[in-house]
Amino acid sequence: MPDGDTGNVLEVRDLRTVFQTRGGEVHAVNSVSFEVKPGELLGVVGESGSGKSVTMMSLVGLLPSPPAEVREGRVLLAGEDLLRVTPARLREVRGGEVGFIFQDPMTSLNPVFTVGYQIMEPIRRHMGLGKKQARERAVELLELVGIPSARDRLSDYPHQFSGGMRQRVMIAMALACDPKVLIADEPTTALDVTIQAQILEIVADLRARLGMAIVWITHDLGVIAGIADRVLVMYGGQVVEQAPVHPLFNDPRHPYTRALLRTIPTVTGARAEKLEVIEGQPPILGAAPTACPFRDRCPLVFDRCHAENPAREVVAPEHDVACFHPSARSGTGGAS
């Protein structure tokens, strides 16, 4: 089947990103593969440092090189390999077909320009609209993300908005050019719970209305339980499990996913001291892994885990896991 005909909006194959540091090479992304289907919401979870951001930034050339080097892989956007296009084409993709929302809007919004200018600029650049049309589109976008008195607020500067409203402006900017995929990298982590819930609601609503695919990155599995169609679990720069949301929560196979699930507070007011934490530290990334990255924290570790890095294997429809333990394959017993 030719690349363009897979039916996926985005397809990432064997992506490998390495940082050159004084201490040697840091293999931050190790042969990561995944796909994003049209209109779906893909959740990407994993503890801090598991390679989520580096993976997403590698897709569209957002990492400074050096020190970063995307060494291997293919990133197919409707069949076009983004690792092999010109810098000019990549700039066009960023903020065009692929939109980004980051955790801290202040790092993406420029404090010296009005919000209106910052939303209109990419619209004019990518979509070739005139000033007046771009202005109307900016108003429409701000209304879409629920900013009151949108027209009046075009002339305001980022600092004149609250944290939650700035995040909405960021979403409006990311949506400006009708992206096929919107990548949201922990966009609600810095916000309080009520505003987090509002932002999630806006995004879910936008997806339904605009039909774009969303990749929602978080270190908190609880956040995506209610909104994701499919979930990718990352650990130590690798994908360790992938499944549709229901099996991921009800039949998790990787010992790490099982541990992550136990860290979610229950709805019935579990107290903080009752939350289980995963013992041990995430691996310090260095050389390319030759063993299972989770072996030092895994309750099910056995000799093979020290000798080989498990590849992802399909265990159920659309469900794969990278673990040698028989319980990961059969779905019985396990770490619980």
Ligand X SMILES: Nc1ncnc2c1ncn2[C@@H]1O[C@H](COP(=O)(O)OP(=O)(O)O)[C@@H](O)[C@H]1O
For ligand X, the binding residues (CB under 6 A) are 19, 21, 26, 28, 46, 48-54, 67, 285
Q: Is the CB of 126 or the CB of 219 nearer to Mg ion?
A: 219
Binding mask 36-65 for Mg ion (x = CB under 5 A): ----------------xx------------
238 is a site residue for Mg ion (CB under 5 A): no
Least separation in angstroms between CB 186 and ligand X: 7
Report yes or no: 92 and 60 within 8 Å, Cβ to Cβ. no
Beta bridge partners of 213: 181
Given Mg ion, ligand X, none, residue 67, with its beta carbon under 5 to 8 Å by kind, binds ligand X
Q: Is the CB of 29 or the CB of 144 nearer to ligand X?
A: 29
Least separation in angstroms between CB 21 and Mg ion: 18
Q: Is the CB of 161 or the CB of 235 nearer to Mg ion?
A: 235
Given ligand X, Mg ion, none, residue 65, with its beta carbon under 5 to 8 Å by kind, binds none
Tell me the C-alpha distance between 243 and 45, whole Å.
Answer: 12
Given Mg ion, ligand X, none, residue 50, with its beta carbon under 5 to 8 Å by kind, binds ligand X
DSSP string, 123-181: HHHHH---HHHHHHHHHHHHHHTT-TTHHHHTT--GGGS-HHHHHHHHHHHHHTT--SE
* 3 phi and psi angles, rounded to 5 deg: -50, -40
Q: Is the CB of 34 or the CB of 161 nearer to ligand X?
A: 34
- Which helix (H) or strand (E) segment holds residue 25: the answer is strand 24-36
Tell me the C-alpha distance between 173 and 121, whole Å.
Answer: 10
CB count in 10 Å sphere of residue 173: 27
Could you list the residues that contact Mg ion (CB under 5 A)? 52-53
